Structure 1
Amino acid sequence: MIEAHDLTKRYGSKTAVAGVSFRVEPGTVTGFLGPNGAGKSTTMRMIMGLDRPSGGSVTVNGKPYAQHRAPLHEVGALLEAKAVHTGRSARNHLRALAATHGIPAKRVAEVIEMTGLGSVAGKRVGGFSLGMGQRLGIAAAMLGDPRTLILDEPVNGLDPEGVRWVRGLVRHLADQGRTVFLSSHLMSEMAITADHLIVIGRGRIITTGSVREVIDRTSGTTVSVRSPQSGALAQALVAKGGEIVSSDGDLLSVRGLEAAAVGETAAANGVVLHELTPTQASLEDTFMTLTAGDVEFQTTTSQSGVSA
Structure 2
Amino acid sequence: MIEARGLSKRYGQKVAVDDLSFTIRPGQVTGFLGPNGAGKSTTMRLTVGLDRPSAGTVTVNGHRYRDAAAPLSEVGALLDAKGVHPGRSARSHLSALAATHGISDRRVHEVLEQTGLAAVANKRVGGFSLGMGQRLGIAAALLGDPQVLILDEPVNGLDPDGVLWVRRLLRHLAGEGRTVLLSSHLMSEMAQTADHVIVLGRGRVVADAPIAEILTRGGAERVAVRSPEAARLAAALLDADGVELEPEGDERFTASGLSAAEIGRVAARLGVELHELSPVASSLEDAYLALTREQVEYQAA
- Is the TM-score greater than 0.5? yes
Count matched residues.
Answer: 296
Q: 1:67–1:247: structure 2 CA closer, same or farther, 3 Å change rule?
A: closer
Identity %: 62
Deviations 1:116-165 (A, max 9, x none): 11111111212211111111110010011011100000011111111111
The residue type paired with residue 23 of structure 1 is T
Distance 1:250 1:45 in 2: 52
Distance 1:16 1:149 in 2: 23
1:218 aligns with 2:221: no
Deviation (angstroms), 1:211: 2.5
Aligned 8 A contact 1:244 1:252 in 2: no
The residue number in structure 2 matching 1:202 is 202
Distance 1:189 1:251 in 2: 28
The residue number in structure 2 matching 1:289 is 290
Deviation (angstroms), 1:267: 4.7
Spell out the pairing of 1:68-147 with structure 2 (5 A cutoff).
Answer: 68-147=68-147
Aligned 8 A contact 1:76 1:142 in 2: yes
Distance 1:117 1:32 in 2: 27
Distance 2:293 2:186 in 1: 17
The residue number in structure 1 matching 2:186 is 186
The residue number in structure 1 matching 2:49 is 49
Deviation (angstroms), 1:275: 2.3
Distance 1:257 1:44 in 2: 42
Aligned 8 A contact 2:245 2:256 in 1: no
Deviations 1:234-282 (A, max 9, x none): 389x5xxx85222758766444554356436655786543320211232
Secondary structure at 1:224's aligned position in 2? strand
Q: 1:247–1:170: structure 2 CA closer, same or farther, 3 Å change rule?
A: closer
Deviation (angstroms), 1:231: 6.3
Q: 1:143–1:220: structure 2 CA closer, same or farther, 3 Å change rule?
A: farther
Distance 1:251 1:268 in 2: 19
In structure 1, the gaps of 5 or more residues are: 301-308
- Give TM-score scaled by structure 1 length: 0.88
Q: 1:69–1:247: structure 2 CA closer, same or farther, 3 Å change rule?
A: closer
The residue number in structure 1 matching 2:233 is 230
The residue number in structure 2 matching 1:306 is none
Deviation (angstroms), 1:298: 1.3
Secondary structure at 1:217's aligned position in 2? coil
Deviation (angstroms), 1:53: 0.5
Deviations 1:173-197 (A, max 9, x none): 0111111101111111111111111
Q: 1:74–1:272: structure 2 CA closer, same or farther, 3 Å change rule?
A: same
Secondary structure at 2:133's aligned position in 1? helix
Q: 1:232–1:134: structure 2 CA closer, same or farther, 3 Å change rule?
A: closer
The residue type paired with residue 71 of structure 1 is P
The residue type paired with residue 50 of structure 2 is L
Distance 1:84 1:195 in 2: 31
Runs of 4+ in 1 over 6 A off after TM superposition: none
Secondary structure at 1:273's aligned position in 2? coil
Distance 1:271 1:75 in 2: 61
- RMSD (Å), alpha carbons: 2.3
In structure 2, the gaps of 5 or more residues are: none
Distance 2:238 2:39 in 1: 46
Aligned 8 A contact 1:230 1:252 in 2: no
Deviation (angstroms), 1:50: 0.6
Q: 1:53–1:261: structure 2 CA closer, same or farther, 3 Å change rule?
A: same
The residue number in structure 2 matching 1:303 is none
Secondary structure at 1:286's aligned position in 2? helix
Distance 2:34 2:104 in 1: 38
Q: 1:261–1:174: structure 2 CA closer, same or farther, 3 Å change rule?
A: farther
Bigger CA drift: 14-23 or 259-268?
259-268
The residue number in structure 2 matching 1:162 is 162
1:276 aligns with 2:277: yes
The residue type paired with residue 291 of structure 2 is L
Spell out the pairing of 1:9-24 with structure 2 (5 A cutoff).
Answer: 9-24=9-24
